[in-house]
Amino acid sequence: MIVKNKEGAEDNQHDCCTPQPKGKVECPECGKKAKGILEKTVQHLLTNKAKSNIALYDGFYYCKSSTCRVIYFRGDVILTQEDLSVKVGLKDGTTPANLCYCFGWTKEKIKDEILKNGKSGAIDDIKHKMATVGCSCEIKNPSGNCCMGDVSKYIKGNFI
Protein backbone atom coordinates (compact mmCIF):
# COMPACT_ATOMS: atom_id res chain seq x y z
CA MET A 1 0.00 0.00 0.00
CA ILE A 2 1.25 3.45 -0.81
CA VAL A 3 0.41 6.20 1.60
CA LYS A 4 1.01 9.57 0.15
CA ASN A 5 2.41 12.06 2.55
CA LYS A 6 0.49 15.24 2.00
CA GLU A 7 2.90 17.45 3.89
CA GLY A 8 5.89 16.04 2.08
CA ALA A 9 4.27 16.77 -1.23
CA GLU A 10 3.73 20.38 -0.27
CA ASP A 11 7.29 20.69 0.90
CA ASN A 12 8.51 20.09 -2.61
CA GLN A 13 6.97 23.33 -3.74
CA HIS A 14 8.86 25.65 -1.46
CA ASP A 15 10.85 27.41 -4.16
CA CYS A 16 9.97 30.57 -5.98
CA CYS A 17 6.95 29.27 -7.75
CA THR A 18 3.82 28.81 -5.66
CA PRO A 19 1.02 29.68 -8.05
CA GLN A 20 -0.18 33.20 -7.40
CA PRO A 21 -3.88 33.87 -6.98
CA LYS A 22 -5.56 34.17 -10.35
CA GLY A 23 -7.37 37.16 -11.74
CA LYS A 24 -6.71 40.87 -11.82
CA VAL A 25 -8.58 43.81 -10.40
CA GLU A 26 -8.19 47.52 -11.09
CA CYS A 27 -6.35 49.56 -8.49
CA PRO A 28 -8.84 51.98 -6.89
CA GLU A 29 -6.38 54.89 -7.23
CA CYS A 30 -4.51 54.50 -10.52
CA GLY A 31 -6.90 52.20 -12.36
CA LYS A 32 -4.13 49.86 -13.53
CA LYS A 33 -4.69 46.15 -13.31
CA ALA A 34 -3.37 44.64 -10.11
CA LYS A 35 -2.74 41.00 -9.38
CA GLY A 36 -3.84 38.95 -6.42
CA ILE A 37 -1.27 38.40 -3.72
CA LEU A 38 -0.72 35.44 -1.42
CA GLU A 39 -1.92 35.74 2.14
CA LYS A 40 1.50 34.87 3.53
CA THR A 41 3.18 37.66 1.56
CA VAL A 42 0.92 40.29 3.07
CA GLN A 43 1.19 38.78 6.51
CA HIS A 44 4.99 38.86 6.48
CA LEU A 45 5.40 42.38 5.18
CA LEU A 46 2.88 44.46 7.08
CA THR A 47 3.95 46.44 10.10
CA ASN A 48 2.48 45.42 13.42
CA LYS A 49 0.48 48.61 13.44
CA ALA A 50 -1.11 47.79 10.09
CA LYS A 51 -1.73 44.22 11.21
CA SER A 52 -3.59 45.43 14.28
CA ASN A 53 -6.22 46.91 11.96
CA ILE A 54 -6.60 43.87 9.74
CA ALA A 55 -7.94 40.53 10.87
CA LEU A 56 -7.32 38.54 7.71
CA TYR A 57 -4.58 38.81 5.11
CA ASP A 58 -6.13 37.05 2.17
CA GLY A 59 -7.84 38.61 -0.82
CA PHE A 60 -5.44 41.51 -1.28
CA TYR A 61 -4.18 42.80 -4.63
CA TYR A 62 -0.78 44.28 -5.41
CA CYS A 63 -0.45 47.49 -7.45
CA LYS A 64 2.97 47.61 -9.11
CA SER A 65 2.48 50.96 -10.82
CA SER A 66 5.59 52.99 -9.98
CA THR A 67 3.71 56.27 -9.67
CA CYS A 68 0.85 54.96 -7.52
CA ARG A 69 1.07 55.10 -3.73
CA VAL A 70 -1.13 52.03 -3.31
CA ILE A 71 0.81 48.86 -2.58
CA TYR A 72 -1.94 46.48 -1.48
CA PHE A 73 -5.69 46.91 -1.58
CA ARG A 74 -8.77 44.90 -0.78
CA GLY A 75 -12.11 46.59 -1.20
CA ASP A 76 -11.94 49.81 0.80
CA VAL A 77 -8.72 48.90 2.56
CA ILE A 78 -5.66 50.54 1.03
CA LEU A 79 -2.14 49.85 2.24
CA THR A 80 0.76 52.14 1.36
CA GLN A 81 4.48 52.31 2.14
CA GLU A 82 3.86 53.32 5.75
CA ASP A 83 2.03 50.04 6.33
CA LEU A 84 4.91 47.89 5.12
CA SER A 85 8.05 46.92 6.97
CA VAL A 86 10.22 47.00 3.82
CA LYS A 87 10.74 49.81 1.33
CA VAL A 88 9.00 48.98 -1.92
CA GLY A 89 11.66 49.92 -4.46
CA LEU A 90 9.39 49.68 -7.47
CA LYS A 91 7.56 52.77 -6.27
CA ASP A 92 9.16 56.03 -7.39
CA GLY A 93 11.15 57.98 -4.83
CA THR A 94 11.77 55.12 -2.41
CA THR A 95 15.11 54.90 -0.59
CA PRO A 96 16.64 52.42 -0.49
CA ALA A 97 15.02 51.28 -3.70
CA ASN A 98 14.94 47.56 -3.02
CA LEU A 99 14.55 45.30 -6.00
CA CYS A 100 15.82 41.96 -4.72
CA TYR A 101 14.62 41.43 -1.18
CA CYS A 102 16.36 38.11 -0.60
CA PHE A 103 19.92 39.13 -1.48
CA GLY A 104 19.87 42.87 -1.01
CA TRP A 105 20.06 44.30 -4.53
CA THR A 106 18.83 47.87 -4.68
CA LYS A 107 18.63 50.32 -7.58
CA GLU A 108 21.39 52.31 -5.85
CA LYS A 109 23.72 49.32 -5.62
CA ILE A 110 23.17 48.31 -9.25
CA LYS A 111 23.66 51.87 -10.44
CA ASP A 112 26.92 52.27 -8.46
CA GLU A 113 28.21 49.05 -9.89
CA ILE A 114 27.40 49.99 -13.46
CA LEU A 115 28.98 53.42 -13.09
CA LYS A 116 32.09 51.80 -11.68
CA ASN A 117 32.45 48.63 -13.73
CA GLY A 118 30.28 49.28 -16.75
CA LYS A 119 28.01 46.36 -15.91
CA SER A 120 26.06 44.79 -13.08
CA GLY A 121 26.60 41.37 -11.61
CA ALA A 122 23.16 41.44 -10.01
CA ILE A 123 21.49 38.87 -12.24
CA ASP A 124 24.39 36.41 -12.00
CA ASP A 125 24.59 36.88 -8.25
CA ILE A 126 20.86 36.32 -7.79
CA LYS A 127 20.86 33.25 -10.04
CA HIS A 128 23.81 31.79 -8.18
CA LYS A 129 22.27 32.40 -4.77
CA MET A 130 18.89 31.06 -5.83
CA ALA A 131 20.64 27.83 -6.76
CA THR A 132 22.73 27.63 -3.60
CA VAL A 133 21.17 29.51 -0.69
CA GLY A 134 17.63 29.59 -2.05
CA CYS A 135 15.27 32.52 -2.08
CA SER A 136 12.16 33.52 -0.17
CA CYS A 137 10.48 35.89 -2.59
CA GLU A 138 7.03 34.80 -1.53
CA ILE A 139 7.44 36.32 1.87
CA LYS A 140 10.16 38.92 1.30
CA ASN A 141 9.29 40.51 -2.02
CA PRO A 142 6.13 42.65 -1.82
CA SER A 143 5.17 41.34 -5.26
CA GLY A 144 5.31 37.80 -3.93
CA ASN A 145 7.30 36.87 -7.01
CA CYS A 146 10.88 36.32 -8.03
CA CYS A 147 12.66 39.66 -8.43
CA MET A 148 14.65 38.74 -11.55
CA GLY A 149 12.16 40.32 -13.92
CA ASP A 150 12.22 43.60 -12.00
CA VAL A 151 16.01 43.62 -11.76
CA SER A 152 16.60 43.02 -15.46
CA LYS A 153 13.89 45.50 -16.39
CA TYR A 154 15.61 48.14 -14.27
CA ILE A 155 19.03 47.44 -15.81
CA LYS A 156 17.70 47.34 -19.36
CA GLY A 157 15.47 50.34 -18.89
CA ASN A 158 18.18 52.57 -17.48
CA PHE A 159 21.59 51.43 -18.62
CA ILE A 160 21.38 49.45 -21.84
User: Applying CB under 5 A, which residues contact Zn ion?
Assistant: 27, 29-30, 63, 65, 68, 70
Mapped to the 3 state alphabet, what secondary structure does 18-72 carry? CCCCCCEEECCCCCCEEEECCHHHHHHHECHHHHCCCCCCCCCEECCCCCCCCCE
Residue 73 Cβ, how far from Zn ion at the closest point, in Å? 8
Smallest gap from residue 11 Cβ to Zn ion (A): 35
Nearest to Zn ion of 65, 136 (CB atom): 65
The nearer residue to Zn ion, 27 or 155, going by C-beta atoms, is: 27
- Residue 13 or 66 with smaller CB distance to Zn ion: 66
Rounded least distance, CB 88 to Zn ion, Å: 12
- Beta bridge mates, 25: 34
What's the min distance (Å) between Cβ of 150 and Zn ion? 16
Residue nearer to Zn ion on the CB measure, 25 or 123? 25
User: Please, which residues have CB within 8 angstroms of residue 38's CB and are 6 or more apart in sequence?
Assistant: 18, 20, 21, 138, 144
Say how far apart CA 52 and CA 103 lie, in whole Å. 29
Q: Is 37 in contact with 56 (CB distance < 8 Å)?
A: no
